[in-house]
Amino acid sequence: MVGLNNTKKSFILLLFATLLFVMPSAAINTAIYGDTAGFNPDLHKDTFTIVYSLPGSLGSDLDANITKYTDPGVDVIFMGGEDTFSSATASQLEKAVSSGKIFVVNKNNYQKFDSSLPASSKGSTQDGKYFFVNDPNTTISKTIFSGLPVNFSNTDPLSRRSDTEAKKGAITLMSYDKGDPALLYWKYGNGYVIEWTPGSNSRFLNNTEADLINQRLITFLINEMPKPVATTLFPTQSNLGSVSVYSSPLGASVLIDGRYYGTTPANLTDIQPGNHIIRLTLSGYYDYEGTIYVLAGQTTHAYGTLPPLNQFSGAPTPVPTTVAPIIVQVPVTAEPTQKQGAFENPGVIAAIIGVITATIGAIATIFSHISKAKKE
């Protein structure tokens, strides 16, 4: 009887181990707002689960359902709909991504995400003829573009398109023939932001190519994200510090070591002691970046000024200088006059009056001397 029980136990353990081996890994929970840059979730139901989706035609829909996207259980957010959602919604999405999510952005006109996107807009330019893989020999390129071409021709050219450039720290995977980025990503806090700069990459990639590139890149980056690490020391108020952050102008996004901490003015607590990189960003202004040193149990104050983007554009502002006045002499032609008599000429009259005045003065002086002599 004992042997039979042991046999049953062994069989159950073997069955359990087999189930663990054949069961798929944890699903990647995905939320979609509008377009997915060619990714087809129906082809990856074994690994991707769509937990929420909106057509992306109304930004107010995203405002009303933002918690569905920022939920800690969501791993990937596709952003490809209208940009009529609020700035508060954009800030909540950025904060959620920095906590450890993949953010796939499929349009480059999202001004509300300036601080989190790996590319910045430079205006417009002539459309590109093709995409190309920047460096097919890197580990990530071999993983993503395996079995795919290294050049992708434009099948539906436009006359003009948006021109972008990669920000410092961004990794460009694909570029236009003109050299500006078409597909790039960067680390954002504990998460990653992937950006497709074309309005639609379907002009260059077919359904299979776009789907595979997105699926492989997302999976690669999820495996690259830091895993939670257990600490032996519980943080307390005594071994952590605080940071008070201010900016001019106010309302700038605060990132410390790449992690989003809200907008200025901000009083941040539970910051690890030591050196940190602080970055302040605000749409329409240059970024501010600096270093702060946080002490345990103390508050560090940080302040940054963000110059307007148009302050240094165009022709330089002329410096006022002291210039001597310029006198312009205008020639005057005298009008001919009739011949005047001696006593009709004002100059003659003035001279006669002057002679009379001088004579009277002389007589007065002589008379004064004579009167003085008589008295003596």
Q: Where are the domains of the chain?
A: 2-224, 241-311
Burial class (CB in 10 A: 0-12, 13-18, 19+), 110: middle
- pTM, two decimals, is 0.60
CA atoms within 13 A on the CB side of 209: 16
Residue 155 contacts by C-beta under 8 Å, 6 or more apart in sequence?
203, 204
| Alpha-carbon span 38 to 5, nearest angstrom | 54
Pairing of strands 76-80, 102-105: parallel
d(CA 141, CA 135): 7
Instruction: Compute the Cα dihedral for 253, 259, 262, 265 and give only its sign.
Output: negative
Two tokens, residue 306: 């963000």
* pLDDT of res. 107: 74
Name residue 174's beta-bridge partners: 133, 183
pLDDT at position 135: 95
The span from the CA of 79 to the CA of 56, in Å, is 8
Report, at the CATH architecture level, how domain 241-311 is classified.
Answer: Sandwich (2.60)
Residues in the chain: 376
Extract the tokens encoding 341: 């008599």
Longest dimension (CA), the chain: 172
Scanning the structure block, which residue is given the tokens 């995905």? Answer: 30
Return the closest-CA partner of residue 58 out of 83, 32, 88. 83
Distance CA 186, CA 194 (A): 7
- Residue 373's pLDDT is 46
pLDDT of res. 311: 63
Q: Give the per-residue pLDDT at 108.
A: 62
Q: Where are the alpha helices (DSSP H) in the chain?
A: 2-22, 59-64, 66-70, 87-98, 139-144, 207-224, 346-375
Structure confidence at residue 100 (pLDDT): 93
Closest CA to 77 of 69, 68, 86: 69
Strand boundaries in 210-346, DSSP class E = 241-248, 253-256, 259-263, 266-271, 274-281, 288-294, 299-305
At residue 115, the pLDDT reads 86
The single residue listed with the structure tokens 């605000």 is: 282
Position 258 scores a pLDDT of 86
Tell me if 80 sits within 8 A of 106, measured CB to CB: yes
Cβ atoms of residues 250 and 288 within 8 Å? no
Q: Can you list the residues of the chain whose pLDDT is less than 70?
A: 1-26, 108, 227-238, 311-376
- Reduced DSSP (H G I as helix, E B as strand, rest coil) percent helix, strand, coil of the chain, to 5: 30, 30, 40
**Considering only CA atoms, which of 35, 27, 131 is closest in space to residue 79?**
35
Q: What are phi and psi of 288, to 5 degrees?
A: -110, 135
Rg of the chain's alpha carbons, rounded to an integer?
40
Return the CATH number of the domain spanning residue range 2-224: 3.40.50.880
Closest CA relative to residue 299, chosen from 244, 230, 370, 369: 244
